[in-house]
Amino acid sequence: MTNEQLRNDIKEVAKKVGAIDISIVCGSLFCKFNAPDSAAKVLAENLKTLLQNFFDKKKVNDTLVKMSGALPDNEYAYDFMPVVDYRLNEYGI
C-alpha cells in the first residue's frame, strides 16, 4: 500500500463519519465537524474509534490513534502512533 493510498483511505473514513475540511499534515489528521459542539464531540469520538478499527484491520496492535481537540471551529486532530513493545528492544510489534 502506498502512502497516497493510505492517506486517501483515512480521508474516506473521516468523510463517512461526517468530517469536513479534512487534511493530513506531518502524519496527523485534522478535520472539522459541521455540528453543534456536543454533537461534534460525539462525531469526533466515533471517528477515533473507526480509525483505530481501520488500523487494527491492517495489523492488530501496530498503531494507536490519539485524539486532540476541540480546537477552534470544532476541529479535531488525530495522531497515529506506533505501538512499542519494550520487551522487543523498542521495536513495534
Give me the residue spans of the domains in the chain: 3-83
Rounded Cα–Cα distance for residues 8 and 22 (Å): 11
Question: Stretch 4-9: mean pLDDT, rounded?
Answer: 92
> Looking at the predicted structure, is the pLDDT value of residue 1 above 80?
no
Q: How big is the chain by its Cα radius of gyration, in Å?
A: 14
Q: Any bridge partners for residue 24, and if so which? A: 29
| Segment 8-11 long-range contacts (CB within 8 Å, at least 24 positions apart) | 9/54, 10/51, 10/54
Contact 46, 1 (CB under 8 A): no
pLDDT range class, residue 91, cuts 50, 70, 90: low
Query: pLDDT tens digits, residue range 46-84?
Result: 999 999 999 999 888 888 999 998 889 899 999 998 887
Task: Give how far Cα 3 sits from Cα of 29, 76, 86, 91, 93, Å.
Answer: 14, 22, 27, 21, 20
pLDDT-derived band at 27 (thresholds 50, 70, 90) equals confident
Closest to 81 in 3D by CA, of 71, 67, 89, 70? 67
| Fold adopted by 3-83 | Aspartate Aminotransferase, domain 1 (3.90.1150)
Q: For the purposes of burial, counting CB atoms within 10 Å of the CB of 13, is it exposed (0-12), middle (13-18) or buried (19 or more)?
A: middle
Task: Give pLDDT, residue 23.
Answer: 95
In percent, the amount of the chain with pLDDT more than 70 equals 88
